[in-house]
Amino acid sequence: MIKVGIVGGTGYTGVELLRLLAAHPNVELTAITSRKEDGMPVADMFPSLRGVVSLAFSAPEKARLTECDVVFFATPHGVAMAQARELLAAGVKVIDLAADFRLKDTAVFEKWYGMPHSCPDILEEAVYGLAEVNRDAIAKARIIGLPGCYPTSMQLGYAPLLAQGKALVNEAMLIADCKSGVSGAGRKAEVHTLLAEASDNFKAYGVKGHRHLPETTQGLEAIAGRRIGLTFVPHLVPMIRGIHSTLYAHILPEARDTDFQALYEKHYEGERFVDVMPPGSHPETRSVRASNKLRIAVHRPGGGDLLVILVVEDNLVKGAAGQGVQCMNIMFGLEESAGLMHVPVLP
C-alpha cells in the first residue's frame, strides 16, 4: 500500500483528495495536516467522509510526513517549496496542487505570484503533471507541479492541433473563452464568492492578465515546439463545480481539407479520461461533475475556416485532485485509472 500524506486538507481540493484517496485500492491515508484544526477528526469538518476517513487533522510538525511514500500539497502558493527539500531528501515523492512547480522561469513565477522562488534547483527537475502530455516524464519524477484547472482544459483542448509537427491553425491568434464555477476560488471567505454576489450573476475577470496565461502558454509551446500567441479570458459563473472552455482557432489555407474530428479522435485514442464526443455534440459541465473525465467537442461552423473546440471538466477533479491521483498512479506504476473510475454525478 502507498502511504499518502496531505498537507492542507481543509480546502476544496483537500477534501476532494480525501474523497478519492479514501476509496483508492492501493492507498493508505497516513497524515492530513492543518495547524488550526489540529486534533479535529476529519469527519467532523466534512460529514460526507463519516465512516470513510477515520483520521484526525494534525499540526504539520506532528504529522510525520517523511514516513509517507508521497505527499500532496493542497495549500496556498509558496507552501510546497518551503517543505519539498526535506521530503525529497527523505525519499518522499511530492505532488503540488499549487503553482510552486508549474512555471519553469523563476522570474515569470515571481512576477505573477508576487514571491521569490526558494528552490529553483528543485523546480528545474520538477515535471509538469499533465498526464496525457507528459506521461513518460511523470513516471520517472520525484516531484510534480500539477496544472491549474483552466490550463488543463486549454492545453488538452488545443493539443491535437499543435502536436502535428506543422501548423494547421494560426498559432499566433488562439483565443480561449473560459468559465469556471465558484469553487475554483477556493474555500476561503471572500466577498466575490458570497451567495449574494456570485448567484444570479456572470462576469469576466483577469482580462488584462491572469496568472494561468503564462502557464498555459508555456505548456502549449512545449507541445508545439514553437512560439504561440494566446488570448485567455476567464469568467465566473454561478455554479459550484465545473469549467467550460470555448477555444477558437483560425484554420490555415493549406489545412482546410483536414478532418479535425478524426484528428482529435486519433490523438486521444486509448485515453481513459479524455472523451472526444461525436460531431455536433455540445458537452455540458454536469456530464463530468465529480469525475476525472474531460470531454471535448470539435466544431467547424458552416464548414468555414474557424475551428471551435468545446471542453468541459470538473475543476476540482480533472482540474486538480483527480489529476493529482492520476499522476500518483503513474509515478508508482499502478493502473492509471485506479481509484478514478467514478461515474459523473447527474443531475
Instruction: Write the pLDDT tens digit of every residue in 157-179.
Output: 999 999 999 999 999 999 999 99
Q: How far apart are CA 143 and CA 127, in angstroms?
A: 6
Residue 108, classed as helix, strand or coil, is: helix
Q: What is the pLDDT of residues 21-60, one digit of tens each?
A: 999 999 999 999 998 999 999 999 999 999 999 999 999 8
**Predicted confidence band of residue 315 (pLDDT cuts 50, 70, 90):** very high
Banded pLDDT at 192 (limits 50, 70, 90): confident
Query: Nine-digit cell at 255?
Result: 489545412
The Cβ of residue 239 has, within 10 Å, a number of other Cβ atoms equal to: 17
Rounded to the nearest 5 degrees, what angle is found at the Cα of 300, between the Cα atoms of 296 and 306?
Answer: 110
pLDDT at 190: 87
Radius of gyration of the chain (CA): 20
Backbone angles phi, psi at 246, to 5 degrees: -105, 115
With cut-offs at 50, 70 and 90, classify the pLDDT of residue 188: confident
| 178 included as an active-site residue | no
pLDDT band at residue 255 under the 50/70/90 scheme: very high
The predicted pLDDT at position 127 comes to 98
**pLDDT greater than 90 at residue 275:** yes
* Digit-coded pLDDT (tens) for 219-230: 999 999 999 999
For 53, 180, 213, the CA distances from 151, given in Å and listed in that order, are 31, 12, 8
* pLDDT of 203: 95
Query: Which is catalytic among the residues 68, 119, 149, 178?
Result: 149
Taking Cα atoms as reference points, which of 301, 297, 267 lies closest to residue 285?
297
Query: Percent of the chain having pLDDT more than 70?
Result: 100
pLDDT band at 187 (very low <50, low <70, confident <90, very high): confident
Can you give the pLDDT at residue 341? 96
Is the distance from CB of 80 to CB of 100 less than 8 angstroms?
A: yes
Distance CA 192, CA 238 (A): 11
Element (H, E) at 260: helix 260-267
In this prediction, residues 67-82 reach a mean pLDDT of: 96
C-alpha grid cell, residue 74: 493542497
> Is 90 exceeded by the pLDDT of residue 307?
yes
How many CB atoms sit inside 10 A of residue 62's CB? 13
| Per-residue CA distances from 186 to 16, 23, 97, 182 (Å) | 12, 23, 12, 8
Catalogue all structural domains in the chain, each as residue range(s) with its CATH number.
2-125 (3.40.50.720), 150-315 (3.30.360.10)
β-pairing, 2-7 vs 127-128, is unpaired
The verdict on whether omega for the bond into residue 25 sits within 30 degrees of 0, i.e. cis, is no
pLDDT of residue 105: 96
Find the farthest-apart pair of alpha carbons in the chain and give their distance in angstroms, rounded.
64
Mean pLDDT confidence for 248-262: 98
Single-letter amino acid code for the residue at 270: G
User: Mean pLDDT across the chain, nearest whole number?
Assistant: 96
